[in-house]
Structure 1
Amino acid sequence: MRIVFVAVLVALGLSACASAPSNTTNSCSIFAQRSGFFENWRRDAQRVEREFGVPVPILMATIYTESNFEPRARPPRTKLFGVIPWKRQSTAYGYSQALDGTWERYQRETGRFAARRTNFGDAIHFVGWYHNTSNRTNGIAKTDAYNLYLAYYSGHAGYARGSWRGNSGVQRAAQRATSMANQYAGQLQGC
């Protein structure tokens, strides 16, 4: 009987992780949907804020902008001859859309070798680590959602070179992340 109970709990816990929350524009709703026995996104986000000093709304807005909280998000495939699905544009994957090489660097530097990009707690820790590195490397304030996102998207060297300056799409995404961080911040005061 215990084995069946444990199996049911595991299945319920895993099914909760399989998709994005239903309302990704409301931080209170996101945290309410992901506050069960197996996962607690608010707790995970608050731990990262304490460890790295990056506010929860900025962490959440980065993930919203990158993957809309889809655990297995990937960039679209390019098309061979315009119709045959081919290679992906990059190795970005998971909640954080971290590239393979950057994720491996994160694992080495933090010692979190079992971390997975499809695990929210690991992904938000990665985002906090990356934004903290942007603060140390590029001097970006940990409360500057716009520039933290630009560095997140462009990479630390790309940000320093200003590679984002000629890319209106990246600038719009950084503005979207900033707006969402402000929205999340307002919502979190009431839940």
Structure 2
Amino acid sequence: MRYSVLLGALALALLSGCASAPPKSSENICDVFDEKRGWYDDARRAERRWGSDISTLMAIMYQESSFKPKAKPPRTKILWVIPGPRKSSAYGYAQVKDETWKEYQRMSGNHWASRSRFADAVDFVGWYNAQSHKRVGIGKNDARNLYLAYHEGHGGYERRTYNDKAWLVGVANKVGERAKRYKKQLEECERRFKGPWWWPLR
């Protein structure tokens, strides 16, 4: 009996590990949604709630974590070899800092949200994009500028702090290009994820 319980626990742990692993192929959004059943519906809900399309949400998520649920910034080094503290409290699929996550929970009403849960993380990205649209006037599907505001904060975006960070501008350009690529790919496969005509997310 004890042996069978241990086997069951091991099997559950293995299944949990597989469930949280990032997609095998992240270059094609159709492959991502084929592998991660349920992610399309989560992203579609965020799209409908906040106004940024799925390709924009997913491009920002990819850039932040490569779809790793427990992603964290790398640790700093003390004397070049000793692991030091991390650069920030950013965590999860969307790499959200503690204080920003608390603000999202309060303002969105999603009080039990988790940064390592895809549905909550993609909803956060949609919410933040909506704030960027409201506060600094960025189009809800302008992935490049939305990413700059996501990285620098709304105050930093207004002050154009990114102009002193050529590397960041380059990354934002990549996010914009990925969003366009994801959008084109999704046009070829989205129909099979939407479900029948009566499905509520269609």
The answer for unaligned runs of 5 or more in structure 2 is 190-202
- AA aligned to 1:183 is R
Alpha-carbon distance in 2 for matches of 1:167, 1:21? 30
1:163 — aligned with what? Answer: 161
Which among 186, 189, 192 is matched to residue 188 of structure 1?
186
2:57 — aligned with what? Answer: 59
Which among 53, 70, 73 is matched to residue 71 of structure 2?
73
Alpha-carbon distance in 2 for matches of 1:153, 1:16? 30
1:17 — aligned with what? Answer: 19
Which among 86, 93, 109 is matched to residue 88 of structure 1?
86
Q: Any runs of at least 4 consecutive aligned residues in structure 1 with deviations exceeding 6 A, and if so which?
A: 7-10
- AA aligned to 1:97 is Q
Taking only aligned residues, the RMSD between alpha carbons, in angstroms, comes to 1.9
Alpha-carbon distance in 2 for matches of 1:10, 1:29? 25
Aligned length: 183
1:175 — aligned with what? Answer: 173
Residue by residue over 1:47-101, the C-alpha shift from the partner in whole angstroms, topping out at 9 and shown as x without a partner, is 1111111010000000011111011111110011111000011111110001111
Residue by residue over 1:131-182, the C-alpha shift from the partner in whole angstroms, topping out at 9 and shown as x without a partner, is 0000000000112111100000000111111111110111011011101101
Rg larger in structure: 2
- State the Cα distance separating 1:13 from its structure 2 match: 6.2
- State the Cα distance separating 1:10 from its structure 2 match: 6.6
- State the Cα distance separating 1:112 from its structure 2 match: 1.3
- AA aligned to 1:22 is K
- AA aligned to 1:116 is S
- State the Cα distance separating 1:116 from its structure 2 match: 0.7
Alpha-carbon distance in 1 for matches of 2:126, 2:49? 8
**The residue matched to 1:78 in structure 2 has which SS?**
strand
**The residue matched to 2:173 in structure 1 has which SS?**
helix
Alpha-carbon distance in 2 for matches of 1:79, 1:11? 32
The answer for unaligned runs of 5 or more in structure 1 is none
1:126 — aligned with what? Answer: 124
**The residue matched to 1:86 in structure 2 has which SS?**
strand
CA contact (8 A) 1:17 1:71 kept: no
- State the Cα distance separating 1:19 from its structure 2 match: 1.3
- AA aligned to 2:121 is A
Q: How high is the sequence identity, in percent, across the aligned residues?
A: 43
Alpha-carbon distance in 1 for matches of 2:113, 2:121? 8
- State the Cα distance separating 1:107 from its structure 2 match: 0.7
Alpha-carbon distance in 2 for matches of 1:89, 1:131? 24
CA contact (8 A) 1:49 1:56 kept: yes
Q: TM-score, normalised by structure 2?
A: 0.86
CA contact (8 A) 1:62 1:149 kept: yes
Bigger proportion of residues as helix: 2
- State the Cα distance separating 1:9 from its structure 2 match: 10
Alpha-carbon distance in 2 for matches of 1:141, 1:18? 32
Q: TM-score, normalised by structure 1?
A: 0.90
Alpha-carbon distance in 1 for matches of 2:130, 2:12? 34
